[in-house]
Structure 1
Amino acid sequence: MKEYFTFFKKNFKEVRFGWTLTLLSGFGQTYFISLYVPEIIKVFGISNGLFGGIYAAATVITSFLLITLGHFVDHKPIKTVTFYTILGLALSSILLGFSEIHMIVLFLALLGLRLTGQGLLSHISQTVLSRRFDLDRGKALSIASSGYSVGEAIFPIIVTSLLLWSNLKTTSLLCAAFLVFYLIRMRFLDLKKFDKDLDLESKISGKILLTDFKDIISERKFFIIMPSSFVMSFVSTAFFFYQYIFVKDLKWSVTLYASFFIVYAITRFIMSLIGGLLVDRFSAKKLFRFYLIPLGIGLFPMVVSNHILAALFFLVMIGITTGLAGTVKTALLAEVYGTGKLGTVRSFFNMFMVLSTAAGPLVVGIMMDNGINFNMIILLLILLTFAVILNNQRSLFRKS
């Protein structure tokens, strides 16, 4: 931990900025939006599968918008890119508050939340820190990733309490107010250090982007790295999106289950720090083989038991995987593709990750509507996860 203390003290402002963005990205993450799902379904009188379809459509569009906007972090002042991203997130929260007006308003709100929160804020944080730090990349990314853990620990409790006290409209408007407050705070931040790593003179055209994407997808290593990112987001999103539906159906205590997220967040935080040290010491390429295994193991108890402690075990194990992933995935791309066009590369891989977050709720929602029970859904997720874990081992025996 002494290594972290020394690094954090020396680079406090840069790391604090990255950490804040990952924290604020929570407003567009699936675990956060899932808190609203029961009320949204009730207000609009729609099924789980239909809402999953709406969410999937918004997320698919987000994935394609992400690859057209993600490269700006390589060529535009970071303060400008971040300001407009957070402004978009605040406006999307306002739209969600008034979503009862029409289904189109709900769709636009989901689109904005997914694009700016889950998509761009995470992308900006991970890209600028990975590019800024080389030898200490693992530590920088792991500290920033702890922002996810803090959000997962506090936001569900705060939002659940607000929803019990008020309603969807009041809660989402309060979230928007919080984001506007940070925009005011941003005026006093000096982020010019991040701009030193940019190529501000470059002109990026659609043709250049398409060429870059074609080069990425033509290489074998893409088909080793991409499925790993896809399956992790698919499984976690599918579970977290409907978690409070599962809680209700299985007659679990909502309050007790929500409190489990503190354990999940602590686990993720600890593993994020450990992951940073491991990446700096052994490289992300080596950790890539193993980081999904806890996720697969964590699903097993829920196949054979509907006890709430099975959910706790899962949250601990997925906390291990997500804690490692926050550092491993971005560091791996920097190691494999370099940092010159890291924003472009990350946005392309993130497109598939975001697509998986659309597919997860859609597929599971359809299965639920067709009467497939909770245990069978979990079993199918296990089979998918271990198929990808096997694929991750390919890089050990053949050249990329």
Structure 2
Amino acid sequence: MPPPLRAYLRFLVEQPRLLTFGFALTLFSSFGQTYFIALFNVEIREDFDLSHGEFGLIYSLATLASGISIIWVGSLVDRLDLRVISLLTMIGMAVGALLLSWSPTLLLLPIGLYLLRLCGQGMYGHIAITSMARYFEANRGKAISIASLGYPGGEAIFPLIGVMLIATIGWRESWLVIACVIVLFMIPLVLSLLRGHSERVQAYEAALRRARESDRESSDQSILVRADRQWRRREVLRDRRFFLLLPAILGPAFMATGVFFHQLQLVDERGWEVEAFAAGFMLFAASQVPMGLATGILIDRIGAVRLLPFFLIPFLLGMLTIGLISHPIAIPLFFLFIGMTVGSVGPLFGATWAELYGVEHLGSIRALTTSFMVVSTSLSPFLLGALIDINVSMSAIALGFAGYCVLASVSAGIAVRLQPPPDPE
């Protein structure tokens, strides 16, 4: 067995509970992700007599509201016990699923979608990655990589399960089953995985106190990682590095969402088979796994910050592929390349904020970036649609995205070379 895999297995044996907790949250975040909710598109529109545009508007507004809400809700990870915030999030997810299952009027549909997007797309992953970054130091990269495996895992299994449920019992009954799974299986599982968490919190807080008392020079300051101090969110917003990193942070989700949403336009322009493009999503999910694990190893060896200027290179190649190649071979190459970047995003940015800004206020800092990402992905389909309406081709858009990757990488390279501003205290 290769040494990196042995390192992962040894780590799993040493810390099975918290790592499984992180993986479970990202896995079950699928119920709030667009690719899963979209499976119910036709049935929801028919039941509520909605057009494509009307349902799209409701969904976009629910996503925007969740993106704004997570700025505050996400900061609760810094203030509430991990068991409490996890339980509240799972209850919120179950209520959202119940509202979709039961909603007799259109008024309840946006509320259900809002809760699914806030808890599923937003908070599940936010809690998981923040916890991995906060409670693991020497193995932070591997911890985030393991937790992030839940994302491709969900992409691989839950769409098929969703289709089977809709065909077998109907769309409303499917959401009732999902609510029952959350209440009867997920809540007991998560709470059992967090048994003994009080001792972990006590050790974490003791290390922070010792580091402060020794003026960040003692050997106990490992919990502070490479950060020069424990930053608050308002301080981060005054740091030039943060804004220089934003284009790279937001880019992959924004671009991938836009291309996936308008995939039929791309397929039609290129003369490809829809089935061939749809099959590419399996490669997209599969390519994320090895890249995510490799990124975790690199983070633990050289740090996340050093990798930032380079992680968009595969995405750049993917956009060049669909922008320049009309042969169907472009489909697997595209999904392979963008999957490599998407697989590295979770570990990379989960660890970057801890390295730059410390872990004490990590929840509120990640909540801010998560909010930006959710809002950007809600705007992407509209902006690309507007370009398509004025006869801009998908290949031209892809080449524009390739240029964006270059500029974002340069911006990230500048950011990692800047010195942090002086401590205001």
Query: TM-score scaled to structure 1, two decimals?
Result: 0.87
Corresponding residue for residue 354 of structure 1: 374
Corresponding residue for residue 219 of structure 1: 239
Q: After the TM superposition, which residues 191-270 of structure 1 pair with which residues of structure 2 at under 5 Å, given as runs?
A: 191-196=197-202, 212-243=232-263, 256-270=276-290
C-alpha deviations, 1:295-336, integer Å up to 9, x for none? Answer: 121122222456554333222112111111110101000000
Query: In structure 2, what is the Cα distance between the partners aligned to 1:358 and 1:39?
Result: 22
Corresponding residue for residue 132 of structure 1: 135
- Cα gap change, 1:41 to 1:238, in 2 (>3 Å): farther
Task: Count matched residues.
Answer: 388
Greater mean alpha carbon deviation, residues 357-366 or residues 71-80: 357-366
Q: After the TM superposition, which residues 279-290 of structure 1 pair with which residues of structure 2 at under 5 Å, given as runs?
A: 279-290=299-310
Greater mean alpha carbon deviation, residues 93-102 or residues 383-392: 93-102
Corresponding residue for residue 95 of structure 1: 99
- 2:68 is aligned, of 64, 70, 81, to 64
Greater mean alpha carbon deviation, residues 26-35 or residues 340-349: 26-35
In our comparison, the structure showing a higher alpha carbon Rg is 2
Do the aligned partners of 1:131 and 1:342 also contact (CA within 8 Å) in 2? Answer: yes
Query: In structure 2, what is the Cα distance between the partners aligned to 1:249 and 1:51?
Result: 26
Q: Which amino acid aligns with 1:322?
A: V
Do the aligned partners of 1:153 and 1:264 also contact (CA within 8 Å) in 2? Answer: no
Do the aligned partners of 1:156 and 1:258 also contact (CA within 8 Å) in 2? Answer: no
Query: In structure 1, what is the Cα distance between the partners aligned to 2:192 and 2:176?
Result: 24
- 1:158 is aligned, of 161, 174, 182, to 161
- Superposed CA RMSD in Å reads 2.9
Does 2:296 align with 1:276?
Answer: yes
Does 2:40 align with 1:36?
Answer: yes
- Cα gap change, 1:198 to 1:283, in 2 (>3 Å): closer
Corresponding residue for residue 105 of structure 1: 108
**3-state SS of the aligned residue for 2:192?**
coil
Does 2:55 align with 1:55?
Answer: no
Greater mean alpha carbon deviation, residues 113-122 or residues 171-180: 171-180
- Cα gap change, 1:239 to 1:116, in 2 (>3 Å): same
Query: In structure 2, what is the Cα distance between the partners aligned to 1:71 and 1:192?
Result: 20
Cα deviation for residue 257 of structure 1 reads 4.2
Does 2:120 align with 1:114?
Answer: no
**3-state SS of the aligned residue for 1:135?**
coil
Do the aligned partners of 1:268 and 1:320 also contact (CA within 8 Å) in 2? Answer: yes
Do the aligned partners of 1:34 and 1:243 also contact (CA within 8 Å) in 2? Answer: no
Corresponding residue for residue 176 of structure 2: 173
Cα deviation for residue 100 of structure 1 reads 7.7
Corresponding residue for residue 204 of structure 1: none
Greater mean alpha carbon deviation, residues 237-246 or residues 139-148: 237-246
- Cα gap change, 1:51 to 1:276, in 2 (>3 Å): same
- 1:26 is aligned, of 12, 27, 30, to 30
Cα deviation for residue 277 of structure 1 reads 0.2
Query: In structure 2, what is the Cα distance between the partners aligned to 1:248 and 1:326?
Result: 32
Query: In structure 1, what is the Cα distance between the partners aligned to 2:360 and 2:390?
Result: 47
- Cα gap change, 1:176 to 1:372, in 2 (>3 Å): farther
* Identical pairs, percent: 32
Do the aligned partners of 2:269 and 2:394 also contact (CA within 8 Å) in 1? Answer: no
C-alpha deviations, 1:165-222, integer Å up to 9, x for none? Answer: 56432333333232222124345341435543677xxxxxxxxxxx943321111111
- Cα gap change, 1:375 to 1:165, in 2 (>3 Å): farther
Corresponding residue for residue 395 of structure 1: 415
Cα deviation for residue 383 of structure 1 reads 3.3
- 2:7 is aligned, of 3, 6, 9, to 3
Query: TM-score scaled to structure 2, two decimals?
Result: 0.82
C-alpha deviations, 1:254-311, integer Å up to 9, x for none? Answer: 6554443332222111111100000001110111111112112112222245655433
Greater mean alpha carbon deviation, residues 362-371 or residues 25-34: 362-371
Q: Which amino acid aligns with 2:152?
A: S
